[in-house]
Amino acid sequence: MREAARTRGGTMGVLVAAPLERVEHLAGAVREAGEDVWVANVDARPYGGDCDWTGIGTRRLTSPVLWEESVRTLTDTLGCRRLVELGPGRTLAGLIRRIAPGTEVVSGDGPGALD
C-alpha cells in the first residue's frame, strides 16, 4: 500500500509517495546503528538509535526539510567539523559551505569514494 502526502518546501509543493514499509525498514536500519547520533531534517534535532524512527520518517513525508537548521545542529550543537556528502553532484556541499564556512566538506559519488 502506498501513502501519498503533500509537503511544503520553499515556494512549491511536492507530491511525495512512499511505501510505509520502506520507512519502517529504514527505521530498523538506523536503530541497529547503536550509539550513533543522527540529526533528523524534519526538526533539526539529534536522536539516538532508540527513538521513534518510524514516526520521524512518517513526519518527514508531510513536513518541510529544515536543512539550514540541521547543518547548524551538526556544526554548532554537536561540534562536527567535517561533513560528508555522498551521491552525485555537489549541491549540498556548496550549501553547507555557505551555512557553516569553517566546516570541511568531503564529497563523493558513493561509499566507495571514502576508501
Residues 8 and 64 in one domain: yes
Q: What is the pLDDT of residue 71?
A: 95
For 13, 43, 99, the CA distances from 64, given in Å and listed in that order, are 10, 9, 18
Same domain, 108 and 64: no
Question: Do both 5 and 39 map to the same domain?
Answer: yes
Give the chain's domain count: 2
CA distance 59 to 57: 5
Q: What integer pLDDT is reported at residue 101 of this predicted model? A: 95
Do 73 and 91 sit in the same domain of this protein?
A: no
Categorise residue 49: left if φ over 0, alpha if ψ from -120 to 50, beta otherwise.
alpha
Residue by residue, pLDDT tens for the chain (115 residues) are 333 344 344 333 333 444 455 555 555 555 555 567 888 889 999 887 678 878 888 888 888 999 999 999 999 999 999 998 888 888 999 999 999 999 999 888 876 776 6
**Residue ranges making up the domain that contains 87:** 81-115
User: Would you state the cell numbers that stand for residue 101, as one nine-digit string?
Assistant: 564556512
Q: What is the predicted pLDDT for the residue at 54?
A: 82
* CA–CA separation, 95 and 74 (whole Å): 14
